[in-house]
A and B are shown apart, each in its own frame.
Chain A
Amino acid sequence: MIGTVARKEILSNLLSYKFYVVILLGAVLVGTSLFIMARDYKDRLADYSLIRPKPGEPIAVNPPNPLAIFAKGLDESMARSFEIGTTGITVRAGQKSGNAVFAFFPAPDLLYIVRVVLSLVALLFGFDQISREKEGGTLRLMLANPASRGAVLLGKWLGNFASLAVPFLLVSALGVAVLALDPEIGFSAGQSGRLALILGLTLVYIAFFLSLGLLVSALTRRASSSLVILLFVWTLLVFVLPNLGTLAARQMVDVPSVRALSEKRQQIWTREILLRIRGEGDWASHIKAISAENDALEAEYRVRFDRLVALSKAINRVSPVASYVYAATEIAGTGIGEEAAFKREVIRYKNGIIDRTLASPGPGAAGAPAFRYAYRPLASVLAAGALFDMAWLAAGAILLFGLSYLAFIRYDVR
């Protein structure tokens, strides 16, 4: 019975005008997004080949991550160059130090398209599932057969999920195939696996919104009131809640401004230089002291910053949309956890360089070891929170489906 309902749903979707408009629009948007982001990636790759340090230069640069095409996250900040000097780390933005105007537009990556458009598409597939059949009078005919309400609901869900998921996977697979043909963009096996995981996660995200649509549809009598309610819920989930937590957390956790931090660094530097002029200690100990204190400063800042991030993430997770974004960016290696790990690695590299320089002074002892950042393995990314986010999103989808079952068994189908 479930199969029959699902088959009927797929066929009626295939015959509807809405289906083709939505699929076409989705395909155009996904295509445009991949095109723009692939171009952006290639630009940044070209920048990277310009600023890539020569062997022996104490500069830490990480190449751009090809998965940033799908989830840009903080990749731009991780691909900056960090030049190690005795005074600390000089951060350069690279060639394309952008135009101030663009800072507040998010990147139109696949994540953005999925987050904003695909969620809406899923709602549009779900919002009139019950009311349309009721208005058409087919709902009572269907239930006059030996079909349980649960089977009808599950069949509807499966049929609509299939008609959403299959075109999405086809379009994405086509896009990825075109990207993979580009000689400049190469995905390693691990990255392909991560990409598959992100696409799988996206299916869970679609399932969440489809269930939400089904729930509201089972709670309302008329299709248009169902859609209006869904629209407000959607605005809340996608735009309002994921920002609310960050803003609230900023009011609660006090993070020193970047300027205050650099002023403190300046103070340490001046103090050590004055001590040196007075003739206390030797250069090596002063440089070590400056480096250690800067690290302590940075560590203290990081502690507070991590608290801010943890708190705002915790609040933002009220909306599973935030969970989806966190999980997808972390899996892609462009998330905030990966960025923190990267910063730690840069500091370790800096300390290594300073130790080497002090151990063998003189210009002849150049030849710093090359910096190489290894992304965290998938297992530790998952353990660090991505798995929780995925589970939370899946739990939300299942919960909503359960609720819509409860609402549907009370539904007056006449």
Chain B
Amino acid sequence: MIATIVRKEFLTNLVSPRFAIGFVLCLVLIPFSILINVSSYRERTAQYRVDRDAAEKAAAEVRVYSRLRPEVVLPPEPLSVFGKGISDQVGNRVRIWLGDKPLLAAGKTAAGDNPFLASFVSVDFVEVAAIIFSLLALIFSYDAFTREKEDGTLKLVMSNPVGRSTALAGKLLGILTTLLPVLVFSFLLGAVLILLARDVAFPAVDWGRIALLFALSLIYLAVFVFIGLLVSARSRSSVTSLVMCLFLWVLLVFIIPVVAASFAGGFVRIDSRDNLERVLRDLDTERDDKIKQAFKAQGIPEGWSCWWCMSDRDGMMEVYGNSRADFEMFRRRAMTSEPIRLEYADKRWASQKAYLDSLARQARAAERLSFVSPTGVFRTVAAAVCRTDLAAHGRLMDGARRYRETFISWLQGKNIFASFAWLTPADPAAFLTDDQLVEKRTGGEFKTSRDYEAWAEKQTDWRARWGKLNQAKLRGDSPDDFPFLDLSDMPRFQDRSGTLLSGLGSTAVDVGLLLVEAVLLFYLGFVAFIRFDVR
């Protein structure tokens, strides 16, 4: 008996214009959204390649360890073709500093300064699914009982030996078997478009994730079918049922998520960015003072001079052509200052983490508030499945922070701060004294640096003073005399290689919520139908 009802439902739905309209709507909107996102993914991949090559080139062309500041470029997420999530809102480049842990990624890929581009609604597969699947589910279920009642066929059905639960199950299965082909078709269409797109390659794990997305869409669809059945069983006519369903749809899909986001934005405060900057500036001043005091305690003079050097922020220092004593002084400086710099990076991180946590808390509050609507749950879980939610980005940034630790312990493993290789590629065995340097540079004219100083003091023209020192070119006086460092053993940033379910642990609760909602709605619909007056 139940098979007959299912078959009848399926056939009536199949010939109805709403099936055709729904099918065409999916046929138009899904390829549209996928194609747009494939092209945006392609652009981001091209940009990623350029950035990565530039970063690798910059990292390979260093002569001393002190100038090594590797830049991690995060690759775009292939699954963002399905659900963009926040991928357009966050950057993709992280530079590894000694005195600072990575806070937020730089190099925002989209929008930025341009408000017009930022004001786009993100049209991706997940968004289309959230709007269209819920609408289809309601359109197919709003008149499940009322139409048959209006046509007078419901009493005929119930006059047969059919229980109400059988009739309900038949209706439900009939609707689901009509919607399932639409759903399967939408996903197949998406998959075919991805397979046909040239530069988009999904690993096996990602296809598994798309299967998860399919299961999630099915649950989402079911929730809205149950809502439609419940409303239908509580209404007297199809028209009131449809009006009610429409209002629920607009409320659940469009109003609640937007209002939830604004509420969380307005009521859950984030720490002030300016305040964070101020705290960090204070810590930097404190660190610089501490380094100065440590120099004083060790008797290291504050000023320094060099023959050829480059110094930059974050303790970068590259020195050529100095005397053994100067090199030793530079080495002792680095040995003292760099551990303090590392120590203060941890201190800075405490405030930075508090700031990041407040951002995450606000985002989480917005999510939680939007859970009032099944669409909110769907969007949140779908972003997690596509690895484009805030948590996935947080994991990437954690990876970058871990990479910084690995990189630093690699440096420390070489005991590099205490080594001359930190500052100069010159061989320590070949270091010369001041006197030797002066003798060689002046071509033997002055034997000691004291002689030269005595002579130089009498000169008024500084060009003449320097000219004397440039009479003979000394090997090791300029960076060009040395090859680039061999960095084959430097640790590289490990790209994510997650398993099928990695990072989805916390969303299990959300999916559970959706399931509970579905069961509850089904139960309510069942009760409403039992009490339904079929005459």
Contact residues in B for A235 (Cβ distance below 8 Å): 25, 131, 135
Minimum C-beta distance from B464 to chain A (A): 21
Minimum C-beta distance from B270 to chain A (A): 6
Contact residues in A for B88 (Cβ distance below 8 Å): 103-104
Contact residues in A for B123 (Cβ distance below 8 Å): 243, 247
User: By the criterion CB–CB under 8 Å, are B265 and A98 in contact?
Assistant: yes
User: By the criterion CB–CB under 8 Å, are A246 and B120 in contact?
Assistant: yes
User: By the criterion CB–CB under 8 Å, are B254 and A104 in contact?
Assistant: no
Given A228-B18, A243-B123, A305-B116 in contact, is the A105-B262 Cβ separation under 8 Å? yes
Minimum C-beta distance from B67 to chain A (A): 20
Q: How far is the CA of A251 from the CA of B254 in the complex (A)?
A: 27
Does B73 belong to the interface (CB within 8 Å)? no
Contact residues in B for A120 (Cβ distance below 8 Å): 246-247, 250
- Smallest CB-CB separation from B273: which chain A residue? A97
Contact residues in B for A116 (Cβ distance below 8 Å): 250, 254-255
Interface flags, A238-257, vs B, CB<8A=1, else 0: 01100100110001000000
- B139 in complex: contacting residue of A32, A40, A105, A231, CB < 8 Å: A231
Q: How far is the CA of A243 from the CA of B122 in the complex (A)?
A: 10
- A95 in complex: contacting residue of B89, B108, B122, B272, CB < 8 Å: B272
- A101 in complex: contacting residue of B131, B147, B262, B366, CB < 8 Å: B366
Does A112 belong to the interface (CB within 8 Å)? yes
Does B372 belong to the interface (CB within 8 Å)? no
Q: How far is the CA of A112 from the CA of B119 in the complex (A)?
A: 13
Stretch at the interface among B162-170, B236-244, B337-345: B236-244
- B262 in complex: contacting residue of A40, A227, A336, CB < 8 Å: A40
Does A27 belong to the interface (CB within 8 Å)? no
User: By the criterion CB–CB under 8 Å, are A102 and B261 in contact?
Assistant: yes
Q: How far is the CA of A14 from the CA of B464 in the complex (A)?
A: 101
Give the residue among B88, B116, B131, B362 with the most A Cβ atoms within 10 A. Answer: B116
User: By the criterion CB–CB under 8 Å, are A40 and B29 in contact?
Assistant: no
User: By the criterion CB–CB under 8 Å, are B18 and A101 in contact?
Assistant: no
Q: How far is the CA of A259 from the CA of B266 in the complex (A)?
A: 31
Contact residues in A for B270 (Cβ distance below 8 Å): 99
- A258 in complex: contacting residue of B113, B272, B366, CB < 8 Å: B113
Given A36-B266, A108-B262, A305-B116 in contact, is the A103-B255 Cβ separation under 8 Å? no
Which chain B residues (1-50) contact chain A, with CB distance < 8 Å?
17-18, 21, 25, 29, 36, 39, 47
Does A107 belong to the interface (CB within 8 Å)? yes
Interface flags, A349-370, vs B, CB<8A=1, else 0: 0000000000000000000000
Contact residues in B for A151 (Cβ distance below 8 Å): none
Q: How far is the CA of A76 from the CA of B21 in the complex (A)?
A: 39
User: By the criterion CB–CB under 8 Å, are B139 and A43 in contact?
Assistant: no
Minimum C-beta distance from B110 to chain A (A): 8
Contact residues in A for B261 (Cβ distance below 8 Å): 101-102, 105
Does A223 belong to the interface (CB within 8 Å)? yes
Q: How far is the CA of A231 from the CA of B243 in the complex (A)?
A: 10
Does A346 belong to the interface (CB within 8 Å)? no
Contact residues in B for A243 (Cβ distance below 8 Å): 120-121, 123
Does B474 belong to the interface (CB within 8 Å)? no
User: By the criterion CB–CB under 8 Å, are B29 and A36 in contact?
Assistant: no
Does B214 belong to the interface (CB within 8 Å)? no
User: By the criterion CB–CB under 8 Å, are B255 and A117 in contact?
Assistant: yes
Minimum C-beta distance from B40 to chain A (A): 10
Which chain B residues (267-291) contact chain A, with CB distance < 8 Å?
270, 272-274
Q: Using a Cβ–Cβ cut-off of 8 Å, how many residues does chain B contribute to the interface with A?
A: 59
Given A77-B115, A225-B17 in contact, is the A231-B135 Cβ separation under 8 Å? yes
- Smallest CB-CB separation from A234: which chain B residue? B246
User: By the criterion CB–CB under 8 Å, are A99 and B265 in contact?
Assistant: yes
User: By the criterion CB–CB under 8 Å, are B135 and A224 in contact?
Assistant: no
Q: How far is the CA of A36 from the CA of B190 in the complex (A)?
A: 38
Does B363 belong to the interface (CB within 8 Å)? yes
- B239 in complex: contacting residue of A99, A223, A239, A336, CB < 8 Å: A223
Minimum C-beta distance from A90 to chain B (A): 11
Contact residues in A for B139 (Cβ distance below 8 Å): 228, 231
Given A102-B366, A227-B242 in contact, is the A36-B263 Cβ separation under 8 Å? yes
Minimum C-beta distance from B297 to chain A (A): 38
Give the residue among B17, B112, B238, B255 with the most A Cβ atoms within 10 A. Answer: B255
Q: Summarize B's interface: helix, strand, loop or mixed.
A: helix
User: By the criterion CB–CB under 8 Å, are B273 and A103 in contact?
Assistant: no
Q: How far is the CA of A106 from the CA of B260 in the complex (A)?
A: 11
Q: How far is the CA of A305 from the CA of B270 in the complex (A)?
A: 33
Contact residues in B for A104 (Cβ distance below 8 Å): 86, 88-89, 121-122
Interface flags, B462-505, vs A, CB<8A=1, else 0: 00000000000000000000000000000000000000000000
Q: How far is the CA of A305 from the CA of B495 in the complex (A)?
A: 36
- B258 in complex: contacting residue of A74, A106, A232, A339, CB < 8 Å: A106
Minimum C-beta distance from A232 to chain B (A): 6
User: By the criterion CB–CB under 8 Å, are B274 and A95 in contact?
Assistant: yes
- Smallest CB-CB separation from A39: which chain B residue? B266
Q: How far is the CA of A21 from the CA of B123 in the complex (A)?
A: 32
- B131 in complex: contacting residue of A21, A99, A239, CB < 8 Å: A239
Minimum C-beta distance from B179 to chain A (A): 16
Does A341 belong to the interface (CB within 8 Å)? no
- A232 in complex: contacting residue of B25, B118, B122, B390, CB < 8 Å: B25
- Smallest CB-CB separation from B90: which chain A residue? A100
Does B78 belong to the interface (CB within 8 Å)? no
Contact residues in B for A179 (Cβ distance below 8 Å): none
Contact residues in A for B121 (Cβ distance below 8 Å): 104, 106, 239, 243
Contact residues in A for B527 (Cβ distance below 8 Å): none
Contact residues in A for B119 (Cβ distance below 8 Å): 74, 106
- Smallest CB-CB separation from A116: which chain B residue? B254
Q: How far is the CA of A231 from the CA of B138 in the complex (A)?
A: 12
User: By the criterion CB–CB under 8 Å, are B363 and A36 in contact?
Assistant: no
Does A5 belong to the interface (CB within 8 Å)? no
Contact residues in B for A259 (Cβ distance below 8 Å): 47, 107, 112
Which chain B residues (85-112) contact chain A, with CB distance < 8 Å?
86, 88-90, 107-108, 111-112
Contact residues in B for A36 (Cβ distance below 8 Å): 259, 262-263, 266
Does B114 belong to the interface (CB within 8 Å)? yes
- Smallest CB-CB separation from A231: which chain B residue? B246
User: By the criterion CB–CB under 8 Å, are A103 and B258 in contact?
Assistant: no
Interface residues of B (CB under 8 A from A): 17-18, 21, 25, 29, 36, 39, 47, 86, 88-90, 107-108, 111-116, 118-123, 131, 135, 139, 143, 147, 238-240, 242-243, 246-247, 250-251, 254-255, 257-259, 261-263, 265-266, 270, 272-274, 359, 362-363, 366, 390
- 8 more A-B contacts (CB under 8 A) besides A77-B115, A99-B362, A101-B362? A21-B247, A22-B247, A40-B265, A95-B274, A102-B265, A102-B363, A120-B246, A227-B239
Interface residues of A (CB under 8 A from B): 18, 21-22, 25, 29, 32, 36, 39-40, 43, 74, 76-77, 91, 95, 97-108, 112-113, 116-117, 120, 124, 128, 132, 223-225, 227-228, 231-232, 235, 239-240, 243, 246-247, 251, 258-259, 305, 308-309, 336, 339
Supply 14 A–B pairs (Cβ within 8 Å), ascending by A. Answer: A32-B259, A36-B263, A40-B262, A40-B265, A74-B115, A100-B86, A101-B86, A101-B89, A101-B366, A107-B262, A228-B18, A232-B25, A243-B121, A339-B115
